[in-house]
Amino acid sequence: MALSQAGSCAFGGAIASAGFVCAPRTSLHRLVVRANAEPSEKSVEIMRKFSEQYARKSGTYFCVDKGVTSVVIKGLADHKDTLGAPLCPCRHYDDKPAEAGQGFWNCPCVPMRERKECHCMLFLTPENDFAGKDQTVSLEEIKEATANM
């Protein structure tokens, strides 16, 4: 994962350098890390293939807006790279590594497997108003849809 270059700044006697941005000096205990998370192309391809296979297996379809599909696949790929598991990118977690280890929200999550309920709108049942007709998405479509993000 690439970290943004932010120079260096003093922080409570320590030095926070490249990749760290000092928060406003309201508290000496605050340090903000800004990550420019770009998943590996290999992980994006793995999650793309997984998504296509799971859509076919589950009888679900991708969103009519392939941008939604693309962002979710990239989020899954990023979590696969950083956490070792495709943790759902559409939820907030207090402790992502613990959640990834527990497995409940790893894609396909338990609600998807049990009830075909995908919070991310990656896997949509045919009767869903946002369901498209496709169970495929190309790497090029993903790159194009997420190029300016």
What confidence tens digit (pLDDT) does each residue in 64-117 have? 999 999 999 999 999 999 999 999 999 999 999 999 999 999 999 999 999 999
> What are the catalytic residues?
90
What residue ranges define each of the domains in the chain, with the CATH number in brackets?
41-147 (3.90.460.10)
Cα(100)–Cα(118) distance, integer angstroms: 17
Q: Interior CA angle at 100 toward 120 and 95, to 5°?
A: 95
So what's the pLDDT on residue 36? 54
C-alpha distances out from residue 137 to 38, 39, 55, 111, 118, Å: 19, 17, 11, 23, 17
C-alpha distances out from residue 57 to 20, 86, 115, 116, 123, Å: 43, 18, 14, 12, 11
- What pTM, to 2 d.p., does this model score? 0.75
